[in-house]
Structure 1
Amino acid sequence: MCPSGRILTTHAAASDFRPAFEVLDADRDGKISRDDLRAFYAGVHGGVGGGDELIGAMMTVADTNKDGFVEYEEFERVVNFFPATDEDINAMILFGGGDKSGGVTLDGLLRILALDSAYPN
């Protein structure tokens, strides 16, 4: 999430999302694989439902060059798709049926993305 009061836009500096990328890049090879996502979600408190189906959906959305990995530039494109403040992010999490500690499910994320696409820039 962005620091309080700060707005993330499509022009955010490349380094803004590097820490989040590195959390997901479990094997530290500079790209996110399905195994990296499995390792991340295995460590999430309470586990995450959806398993390989959820991971496959994430990879489909993020892996734009279809090489089986999510490189930093692809990751940045996914997480930096519209301007958002902390309040916007909290509202989206609630709208998606989640909370600050548990995040949202794939269905919740799809609900959030569908709302965003209903309001073109």
Structure 2
Amino acid sequence: MSNSSQVETVSNSGDKVKVVLAIVMLIAGIFAYSFFTDYNIYARLGMFVAGLVLAVALFAMSETGKRAFGFATGSYNEMKRVVWPTRKETIQMTGIVFAFVSVMAILLWVIDKLITWIVYGVVLGWN
């Protein structure tokens, strides 16, 4: 039995460096926001956003980032083609789900009481 699917990983060292630097930039932005508590909130947010922007830019330049952004773009385009249910259909399906769950809850409660009666009342004679 042959397996034709392969796991793709970061292959060249330049891409590995870019991904690691992107992670470091993101961590640096989070650290700067948390560490510099004496600064104005806007300055702290600016440090975080700068770290985030640098991280995204570095990641986007790597082959892994290009594949990830390509996947995200394709997913977004596919989401635009989805036909979403109307409000009426959503409410009807939600009602059906609630009715089914209620019926199943009652059925399981009855089965539980029946098994309890059989085990404790009939078999063990404790009642």
Q: TM-score range by the shorter chain?
A: under 0.3
TM-score by length of 1: 0.20
Which one has more relative contact order, counting CA pairs under 8 Å at least 6 apart? 1
The structure having more radius of gyration, on CA atoms, is 2
TM-score by length of 2: 0.19
Q: Which has the higher helix share?
A: 2
